[in-house]
């Protein structure tokens, strides 16, 4: 997908510090962290919504989800962690390439919808 920031990270067209990479996905640090540690797990193929996934992509996402807990040290997951996938405008999705926010490293409140 041309003009997709995350595709450019995946392809190496824009250099980015990768915390982890395998054949399925890369992990980078979020530029605007919302937690002590805030990573983005980015599948290597481009799609915006869970509902658009091909069967292969959904198997890949399942592998990604089971790999994340293996990255205990790299992502500082010891004390617990939270995964977030924003989908569409109401959720505040700003990058149209599906990604999983991985938040860790501190005790979190519960206000994912932004309520005070």
Which residues sit at the interface with ligand AMP, rule CB under 6 A? 5, 28, 30-32, 40, 86, 92-95
Order the strands of the 100-104 sheet from edge to edge. 18-21, 25-29, 37-43, 100-104, 81-84
**Residue with nearest beta carbon to Zn ion:** 4
**Residue 95 near which of Zn ion, ligand AMP, none (CB within 5-8 Å, type-dependent):** ligand AMP
Asked whether 40 and 28 are in contact (CB, 8 A), the reply is yes
What distances in angstroms separate CA 32 from CA 3, 40, 59, 112, one per listed residue? 21, 11, 29, 16
Instruction: Report if residue 53 touches Zn ion, rule: CB under 5 A.
Output: no
Residues belonging to the active site: 99
Q: Which of 97, 99, 100, 103 binds Zn ion (CB under 5 A)?
A: 97
Instruction: Report if residue 46 touches Zn ion, rule: CB under 5 A.
Output: yes
d(CA 94, CA 71) in angstroms, rounded, equals: 26
Q: Which residues of the chain form contacts with Zn ion (CB under 5 A)? A: 1, 4, 6-7, 46, 97
């Amino acid at each position: 997908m041309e003009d997709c920031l995350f595709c450019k990270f995946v392809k190496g067209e824009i250099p980015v510090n990768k915390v982890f990479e395998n054949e399925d996905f890369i992990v980078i640090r979020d530029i605007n962290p919302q937690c002590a540690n805030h990573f983005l797990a980015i599948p290597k193929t481009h799609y915006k919504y869970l509902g658009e996934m091909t069967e292969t992509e959904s198997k890949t996402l399942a592998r990604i989800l089971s790999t994340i807990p293996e990255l205990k040290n790299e992502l500082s997951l010891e004390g617990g962690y939270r995964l977030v996938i924003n989908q569409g405008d109401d959720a505040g999705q700003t990058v149209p390439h599906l990604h999983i926010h991985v938040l860790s490293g501190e005790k979190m409140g519960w206000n994912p919808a932004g309520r005070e």
